[in-house]
């Protein structure tokens, strides 16, 4: 295939130039039915290249659970080859249903792209996969990683091993609990059973709308990172933030994380260092990375926002009532979130319902450990000093976190 064999299209899908017909035995040129699907990735994700594969692994991966709307996998080395993901992250790929003609997939593909902003691929059940990247090299690299991960999941399934949990234990041991809370108070609130010593709550999606984090908190940190670093550059706190970011970026560069750029040495100009820090932080925020260096800096930026009243914490309407109920019944409530402990205190200390910290006994963040790893919940159990891990009720909207907590003996 040469350039003259390619169709060139405008952003609105109109054909600007077509291949010239070749003599028999070549067939007359025909633009692919995938064209409108490719255009969705170009326009909605700013992709530089899109690859469509009918690889056997992509088909079988969608059949492992016929009713699933997503393919999930975690703690596999090749996840690092997917943009914005690391070894500890959970890779989530939306699955859409197949249609007789590929162009009929356009709307459902667009809906999946919009609903999963971190995704760089969409699976089509019993059909294949669409993968996009910043360049053809990036798209090809990711496509190879996806096929590897699908093949691994299929083989693990055959062995009865669960590829969706950090521990990769037997599939039957990783079933989702039917209920992790019991409705024993009014107005839709939930409280721990009387036998529970403590309750540990996630924030994003559990006490607080995900939209508040993604549409308010993250943009505020992104838009103010340069201002914050410039005004506090010589403070001990910011020097520590920069030190942690340097360590993280060095690791990211070694692992080929897209968006990572080298940070100049300390003897470089202030402007050069800040420019590189801003580029890295913006990339980290865009990828929604759960890393301590980013969360610590975000917490310091958010502190300024809360102190200036530019930010105000948001929680679901039943949260204050249930916190009061638990507090009155003697149940201790803690927070465990990927956001820094300072950010957690700021959010609950400045909500639209007032200061809710009086109902909370403590805060845990990623310095305790990754939220999808069992040892993190073992560490929390030791910190809370319970006689039995089952005395702790952990509430989250993330299945992987619930599985990890359950494996540690929590309810």
Q: What is the residue whose two structure tokens read 């759960």?
A: 290
Cα 61 to the center of its chain, rounded Å: 21
Q: Rounded to whole angstroms, how far apart are CA atoms 79 and 289?
A: 13
State the SS3 of the chain. Answer: CCHHHCCEECCCCCEEECCCCCCCCCCCCCCCCCHHHHHHHHHHHCCCEEEEECCHHHHHHCCCCCCCCEEEEECCHHHHHCCCCCCCCEEEEEEECCCCCHHHHHHHHHHHHHHCCCCCEEEECCCEEEEEECCHHHHHHHHHHHHHHHHHHHHHHHCCECCCCCCCCEHHHHCCCCCCCECCCCCCCCECCCCCCEEEECCECCCECHHHHHHHHHHHHHHHHHHHHHHHCCCHHHHHHHHHHHHHHHHHHHHCCCCCCCCCCCCCCHHHHHHHHHHHHHHHHHCCCCCHHHHHHHHHHHHHHHHCCCCCECCCCCHHHHHHHHHHCCCEEEEECCCCHHHHHHHHHCECCECCHHHCCEEECCCCCCCCCHHHHHHHHHHHCCCCHHHEEEECCCHHHHHHHHHCCCC
> Do 376 and 368 meet the contact criterion of CB atoms below 8 Å apart?
yes
Q: Rounded to whole angstroms, how far apart are CA atoms 385 and 328?
A: 21
Whether omega for the bond prior to residue 58 falls within 30 degrees of 0, making it cis, is no
pLDDT at 403: 86
Assess whether 379 carries a catalytic annotation. no
Q: Rounded to whole angstroms, how far apart are CA atoms 410 and 79?
A: 28
Longest CA–CA separation in the chain, Å: 84
**Strand order in 198-201's β-sheet?**
362-364, 332-336, 198-201, 392-395
pLDDT at 175: 36
pLDDT at 181: 40
Q: Rounded to whole angstroms, how far apart are CA atoms 107 and 122?
A: 12
Per-residue confidence in pLDDT tens, the chain, 411 aa:
788 888 998 887 788 999 988 888 888 888 888 899 999 999 999 999 999 999 999 999 999 988 889 999 999 999 999 999 999 999 999 999 999 888 899 999 999 999 999 999 999 999 999 999 999 999 999 999 999 999 999 999 988 899 998 988 887 543 333 333 433 433 333 444 435 689 999 999 999 998 898 889 889 989 999 999 999 999 999 999 999 999 999 998 988 888 899 999 988 999 999 999 999 999 988 887 878 899 899 989 999 999 999 999 999 999 999 999 999 999 999 999 988 898 899 999 999 999 999 999 999 998 999 898 899 999 999 999 888 999 999 999 888 888 889 989 998
Buried b (16+ CB within 10 A) or exposed e, 143-172: bebbbbbbbbbbebbeeebbbbbbbbeebe
User: What phi-psi label fits residue 370: left (phi over 0), alpha (psi between -120 and 50 degrees) or beta?
Assistant: beta
Phi and psi at 97, nearest 5°, equal -80, 145
| Tokens (6 digits) for 374 | 């069992």
pLDDT at 107: 92
> Do 241 and 308 meet the contact criterion of CB atoms below 8 Å apart?
no
Q: Rounded to whole angstroms, how far apart are CA atoms 402 and 384?
A: 18
Which residue out of 4, 77, 204, 401 is catalytically annotated? 77
Beta-carbon contacts of 125 under 8 Å, excluding residues fewer than 6 positions away, are: 62, 63, 95, 96, 97, 98
């Amino acid at each position: 295939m040469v350039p003259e064999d390619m169709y060139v299209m405008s952003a609105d899908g109109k054909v600007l130039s077509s291949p010239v017909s070749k003599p028999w035995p070549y067939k007359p040129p025909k633009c692919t039915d995938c064209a409108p699907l490719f255009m969705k990735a170009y326009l909605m994700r700013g992709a530089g290249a899109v690859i469509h594969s009918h690889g056997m692994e992509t088909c079988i991966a969608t059949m492992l659970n016929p009713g699933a709307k997503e393919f999930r996998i975690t703690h596999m080395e090749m996840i690092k080859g997917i943009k914005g993901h690391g070894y500890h992250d959970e890779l989530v790929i939306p699955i859409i249903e197949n249609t007789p003609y590929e162009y009929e997939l356009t709307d459902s593909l667009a809906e999946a792209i919009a609903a999963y902003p971190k995704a760089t691929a969409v699976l089509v059940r019993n059909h294949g996969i669409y993968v996009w990247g910043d360049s053809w090299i990036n798209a090809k690299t990711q496509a190879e990683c996806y096929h590897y991960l699908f093949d691994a999941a299929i083989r693990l399934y055959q062995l009865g091993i669960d590829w969706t949990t950090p521990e990769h234990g037997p599939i039957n041991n990783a079933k989702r609990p039917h209920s992790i809370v019991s409705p024993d108070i009014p107005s839709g609130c939930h409280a721990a059973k009387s036998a529970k010593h403590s309750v540990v709550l996630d924030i994003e999606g559990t006490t607080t709308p995900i939209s508040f984090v993604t549409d308010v908190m993250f943009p505020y940190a992104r838009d103010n990172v340069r201002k914050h670093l410039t005004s506090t550059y010589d403070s001990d706190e910011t020097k520590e933030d920069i030190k942690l970011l340097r360590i993280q970026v060095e690791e990211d560069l070694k692992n080929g994380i897209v968006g990572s750029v080298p940070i100049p040495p300390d003897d470089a100009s202030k402007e050069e260092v800040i420019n590189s820090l801003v580029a890295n932080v913006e990339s980290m925020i865009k990828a929604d990375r759960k890393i301590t260096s980013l969360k610590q800096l975000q917490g310091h930026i958010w502190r300024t926002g809360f102190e200036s009243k530019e930010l105000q914490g948001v929680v679901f309407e039943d949260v204050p009532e249930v916190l009061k109920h638990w507090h009155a019944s003697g149940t201790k409530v803690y927070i465990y979130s990927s956001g820094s402990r300072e950010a957690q205190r700021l959010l609950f200390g400045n909500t639209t319902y007032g200061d809710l910290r009086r109902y909370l006994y403590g805060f845990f963040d990623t310095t305790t450990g990754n939220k999808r790893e069992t040892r993190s919940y073992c560490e929390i159990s030791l910190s809370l000093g319970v006689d039995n891990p089952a005395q702790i009720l952990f509430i989250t909207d993330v299945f992987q976190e619930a599985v990890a907590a359950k494996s540690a003996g929590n309810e």
